[in-house]
């Protein structure tokens, strides 16, 4: 074909879209707040006070909630907690999904069929329903929420691992390496794994904000962390009981949650498009 478009695609590649830049800025800010958390809080986030349901003021920038907690301080403390719970759940999903599927893929057809039937089964249960049932069976709390979300998102990592594996194994350069005498291990390590790692990192960036949101949903439904722990979901759950007196106490964590997922989703989506435009079919 004498009509090649490759050079034009290359021209486009070097431009960073403004939205992606916004996303990166948000993510950097979030990580900063999470790391520096205790240094930034103006008040003790766990300190009760009689100054309840106060509107934002110079002392309490975001006001206080129905128990007199400083909302801004709880929001900052919650940043670290929410990110940690989300990242924990996403890491569990990554661990289960990637490890199981890689083992199954290297052991051959029967192992592959077995393991991926398991993932198909989990995929058939809507995520939140699985998590609800799981948490119901064990005790509600941070660990079971993380485990539940981890297991329910694990198929997303398994699917992408398998798709990338198959795609790479079919590449002529893998056959070329085999003809040159490369062992199975060398082919996997040198040619296949780098691509799988790229795909998994991208998938992690996409899954992480969903885990953070679902943790909030679980907390909102009363099945997450203990009521005193100020994750964003808990703050929302507590404050929705009292919307009329202190709407700012609901709005603050909801906006924090929205901005955080907004930034992370933008970064994840940019990574997905940059890494391999064909892979979106599995990343849904």
Partner 1 sequence: MTSTALLHLRDLTVSIRTSGGATPVVRGISLDLFAGRTLAIVGESGSGKTMTAMSILGLGPPGTPLIVGGEARFDGYDLLAMPEREMRALRGRRIGAVFQDPAGSMNPLMPVGEQIREAARAAGAERAVASAKVVALLDEVGLAQVPEIAGRYPHELSGGQQQRCMIALALAGDPDLLVADEPTTALDSDVADQIIALLADLRARRGMALLFISHDLAVVSRLAQDIVVMRDGQVVEFGSTGQILQNPQQDYTKALIACTPGTGGPPRARLMTLDMIRSGTVPGPRRPTTPGDTVVSVRDLMVKYPGRGLLRLGHLALQGVSLELRAGSSLGLVGASGSGKSTLGRALVGLVAAQSGEIHINGLELAASGRRTASDRRNMQYVFQDASGALNPRRTIGQSLLEPQRIHGLPVGALEPMLAEVGLPADIARRFPAELSGGQLQRVTIARALALEPDCLICDEITSALDVSSQAQVLNVLSDLQERRNLAILFISHDRALVEHFCDRVLVMKGGHLAEEGTVMDTINASPKSAKVHETV
Partner 2 sequence: MNDRLVQTLVPIGADIFRSLMIAAGIIVFSFFLIRMIPGDIVDVMGIEGTLTYGQQDAMRESLGLDVGWWQQFTAWLGMVAGGDFGASLRYGTPILDLLRVAMAPTLILGASALAIGLTLGIGLPVLACVFQKPLFVGLVQFITLWSIVVPTFSIGILSVIVFAVWLGWIPAIGNIMVPAIILGMDTAGTLAKMLHEDMVDTERAAFVRTARAKGLSRWRIVLRHILPNALTVVVALFGILLAGALTGAITMEVVFGLPGLGTLTLQAIQGRDYPVVQAVVIWLGLTVVIANLISDLVQRALDPRIGR
Cβ closer to partner 2: 81 or 236?
A: 236
The residue whose two tokens read 């990574």 is 271
Q: In the bound complex, what is the minimum distance in angstroms from residue 129's beta carbon to partner 2?
A: 6
Q: Which among 82-90, 103-111, 117-125, 171-179 is the span making contact with partner 1, rule CB under 8 A?
A: 171-179
Using rule CB under 8 A, residue 223 touches partner 2: yes
* Distance from C-alpha of 86 to C-alpha of 227, rounded to nearest angstrom: 18
In contact, 31 and 82? CB cutoff 8 Å: no
Strand, coil or helix: 70: strand
Q: Which among 27-35, 87-95, 185-193, 245-253 is the span making contact with partner 2, rule CB under 8 A?
A: 245-253
Beta strands in the chain (DSSP E): none
Q: Which among 61-69, 79-87, 133-141, 180-188 is the span making contact with partner 2, rule CB under 8 A?
A: 133-141
Q: Which among 83-91, 102-110, 165-173, 274-282 is the span making contact with partner 1, rule CB under 8 A?
A: 165-173
In contact, 1 and 244? CB cutoff 8 Å: no
- Contact pick of 69, 80, 191, 272 for partner 1 (by CB under 8 A): 191
- Contact pick of 71, 257, 271, 279 for partner 2 (by CB under 8 A): 257
* Distance from C-alpha of 219 to C-alpha of 240, rounded to nearest angstrom: 12
Using rule CB under 8 A, residue 181 touches partner 1: yes
Q: Which does 172 bind (CB under 5 to 8 A by kind): partner 1, partner 2, none?
A: partner 1
Q: Which does 222 bind (CB under 5 to 8 A by kind): partner 1, partner 2, none?
A: partner 2
* Distance from C-alpha of 147 to C-alpha of 143, rounded to nearest angstrom: 6
Other C-beta atoms closer than 10 Å to the C-beta of 19 total 13
Q: For residue 157, what are the contacts with CB-CB under 8 A and spacing of at least 6?
A: 93, 94, 96, 97, 98, 101, 200, 203, 204, 207
Q: Which does 266 bind (CB under 5 to 8 A by kind): partner 2, partner 1, none?
A: partner 2
The answer to whether the Cα torsion of 211, 213, 216, 218 is positive or negative is negative
List residues binding partner 1 (CB under 8 A).
1-5, 7-8, 11-12, 15, 171-173, 175-183, 186, 190-191, 194-195
């Amino acid at each position: 074909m004498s009509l090649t478009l490759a050079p034009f695609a290359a021209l486009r590649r070097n431009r960073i879209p403004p939205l992606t830049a916004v996303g990166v800025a948000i993510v950097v800010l979030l990580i900063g707040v999470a790391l520096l958390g205790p240094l930034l809080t103006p008040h003790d986030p766990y300190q009760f006070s009689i100054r309840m349901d106060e509107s934002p003021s110079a002392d309490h920038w975001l006001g206080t909630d129905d128990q007199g907690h400083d909302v801004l301080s709880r929001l900052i403390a919650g940043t670290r907690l929410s990110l940690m719970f989300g990242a924990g759940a996403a890491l569990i999903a990554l661990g289960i999904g990637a490890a199981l599927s890689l083992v199954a893929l290297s052991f051959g057809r029967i192992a592959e069929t077995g393991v991926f039937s398991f993932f198909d089964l989990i995929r058939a249960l809507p995520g939140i329903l699985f998590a609800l049932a799981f948490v119901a069976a064990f005790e509600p709390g941070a660990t079971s929420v993380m485990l539940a979300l981890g297991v329910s998102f694990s198929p997303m990592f398994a699917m992408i691992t398998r798709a990338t594996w198959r795609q790479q194994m079919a590449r002529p350069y893998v056959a070329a390496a085999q003809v040159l005498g490369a062992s199975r291990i060398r082919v996997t390590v040198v040619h296949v794994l780098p691509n799988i790692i790229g795909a998994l990192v991208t998938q992690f960036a996409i899954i992480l904000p969903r885990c953070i949101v679902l943790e909030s949903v679980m907390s909102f439904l009363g099945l997450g962390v203990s009521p005193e722990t100020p994750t964003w979901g808990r703050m929302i759950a507590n404050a929705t009981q009292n919307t009329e007196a202190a709407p700012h106490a609901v709005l603050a964590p909801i906006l924090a949650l929205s901005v955080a997922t907004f930034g992370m989703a933008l970064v994840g989506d940019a990574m997905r498009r940059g890494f391999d435009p064909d892979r979106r079919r599995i990343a849904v």
